[in-house]
Amino acid sequence: MAITLPVRVQAAASQLAFWLPAPLRRVLAGPPVRRDGQELALDAQLLLRLQKIARAELVRGSVEQSRALLDEARHLVSGKPIEPVSVREVSVPTPDPRSSAERSASVGGMDGLPATLYTPVGLPEPSPLLVFFHGGGWVIGTRASHDNAARFLAKHAGVRVLSVEYRLAPEFPFPAATEDALAAFEYAVAKASDLGADPARIAVGGDSAGGNLAAVTAQQAVRRGGPVPAFQLLIYPATDFARRYRSQDLFAEDLFLTDVHMKWFEGHYVPEGTDLTDPRLSPLRAEDLSGLPPALVVTAGFDPLRDEGEAYAEKLREAGVEVALRRHEDLIHGFINFTGVGTRFREALAETAGALRQGLSKRD
């Protein structure tokens, strides 16, 4: 998609705002926001202020309008493509009972799931690989919306990243995305040599809805008794549809992801009558988490999903799973997509990339 002139102008204005001296940025952002013993980062507060001025919203109108809005908005906050990273398009076969023609139509003309393989230039083979599932509430995200996040992780973690275009709701509601995510992981293991990957060091990961899919994929892989991910990277994951958490009330409004947005996503993704405790939907509700691979759970302090993500980390720990929990107390939901503005978001993602590198490092 070509970047329009108005979007270029808005992007330039946003960049200028973040280059202002700190006192001027504070004036523009407003008084510090403090909640639940935390103070919102100035970069995050300024971004929210600019979004409010521009009347930018995560969700607006129909599904089609919201998808178009996200595709446009990404150019304002993600920055220039991170280099040097090579890109190769891949098609992931899926065990799908629908006709080949119907599946092809659903994923943009490809007989399978489109995916992008990101490889840092100079990375030797075989290398660790992250099978990455983008966020967007299972409804509006794409590989394109998370292009720079995938590039960043590839470059700074020193891994290949396979970013997967799983099927979206409401066209394909739950459990379609979970089926696609598991198929993508199994494909990565089976075709590791073709992807330049070490089959023993393949991780699953994602943010928000993608973090949910990564957690579900790890659980299903263990239950199937086949290949299991070497690591889980769960960035502010949704883990429990069956309960309302305190953070959903604390951060219900004005912090990028709102309570209204979450209900909108759930209404499109979850068919009426679905058991909300199904572990494929709510991985926190799984009875047994033992045997799962090591995990890094990353949360944001000012995020309605904060508490359920941290509850999942605690349940993993209780099950004997090696887990690290990192709460960025001063950040908001979606921060891995804001690498083009300010510095705080990049710092947080750089720390995450470092942990991913360590999690996939060779062990004697």
Instruction: Give the orientation angle of helix 42-53 with respect to helix 5-19, to 10 degrees.
Output: 150
Contact 198, 127 (CB under 8 A): yes
Residue type, 234: L
Q: Is the pLDDT of residue 99 over 70?
A: no
Angstrom distance (rounded) from CA 164 to CA 296: 20
CA distances from 265 to 74, 162, 172, 224, 236 (A): 19, 25, 13, 29, 16
Lowest mean pLDDT among 7-11, 34-38, 266-270, 335-339: 7-11
Q: Is the pLDDT of residue 208 over 70?
A: yes
Q: What is the CATH number of the domain that holds 278?
A: 3.40.50.1820
Higher pLDDT residue, 99 or 49?
49
Q: Is the pLDDT of residue 102 over 50?
A: no
Angstrom distance (rounded) from CA 31 to CA 264: 31
Does 164 reside within a domain? yes
| Residue 333 annotated as catalytic | yes
Does 156 reside within a domain? yes
What pLDDT does residue 226 have?
94
Does 24 reside within a domain? no
Q: How far apart are the first and last CA of the chain?
A: 46
According to DSSP, residue 144 is labeled T
For 105-158, the pLDDT digits (tens) are 444 445 799 999 999 999 999 999 999 999 999 999 999 999 999 999 999 999
For 307-327, the pLDDT digits (tens) are 999 999 999 999 999 999 999
Q: Domain limits at 125?
A: 81-100+110-360
Q: What value does the mean pLDDT take over residues 87-97?
A: 85
Helix (H) and strand (E) counts in the chain: 13, 10
Sorting pLDDT into bands at 50, 70 and 90, what band is 306? Answer: very high
For 329-343, the pLDDT digits (tens) are 999 999 999 999 999
Q: What value does the mean pLDDT take over residues 204-229?
A: 98
Does 13 reside within a domain? no
Angstrom distance (rounded) from CA 338 to CA 319: 34
| Residue 261 annotated as catalytic | no
What pLDDT does residue 105 have?
46
Share of the chain above pLDDT 90, in %: 87
Sorting pLDDT into bands at 50, 70 and 90, what band is 14? Answer: confident
Q: Is the pLDDT of residue 239 over 80?
A: yes
| Residue 127 annotated as catalytic | no
Instruction: Give the orientation angle of helix 344-359 with respect to helix 147-157, to 10 degrees.
Output: 50
What pLDDT does residue 5 have?
64
CA dihedral 236, 346, 334, 36 (to 10 degrees): 70
CA distances from 39 to 31, 52, 207, 213, 300 (A): 11, 19, 23, 30, 12
What pLDDT does residue 159 have?
98
Does 20 reside within a domain? no
What pLDDT does residue 85 have?
98
Coil vs helix vs strand at 281 = coil
Q: Is the pLDDT of residue 363 over 80?
A: no
What pLDDT does residue 222 have?
98
Q: Is the pLDDT of residue 12 over 50?
A: yes
Which one of 66, 163, 208, 247 is the catalytic residue?
208
Does 224 reside within a domain? yes
Which one of 134, 261, 268, 333 is the catalytic residue?
333
Query: What is the average pLDDT score of the chain?
Result: 93
Q: What value does the mean pLDDT take over residues 266-285?
A: 98
- Estimate to the nearest angstrom the gap between the alpha carbon of 156 and the chain centroid: 17
Does 341 reside within a domain? yes
Does 133 reside within a domain? yes
Number of folded domains that form the chain = 1
Q: Is the pLDDT of residue 59 over 50?
A: yes
Q: What value does the mean pLDDT take over residues 194-218?
A: 98
Angstrom distance (rounded) from CA 260 to CA 173: 19
User: Could you tell me how many residues make up the chain?
Assistant: 364
CA distances from 154 to 122, 136, 348, 354 (A): 12, 20, 15, 11
What pLDDT does residue 2 have?
62
Q: What value does the mean pLDDT take over residues 279-294?
A: 98
Which one of 198, 207, 278, 303 is the catalytic residue?
303
What pLDDT does residue 100 have?
37
331: part of which helix (H) or strand (E)?
strand 323-332
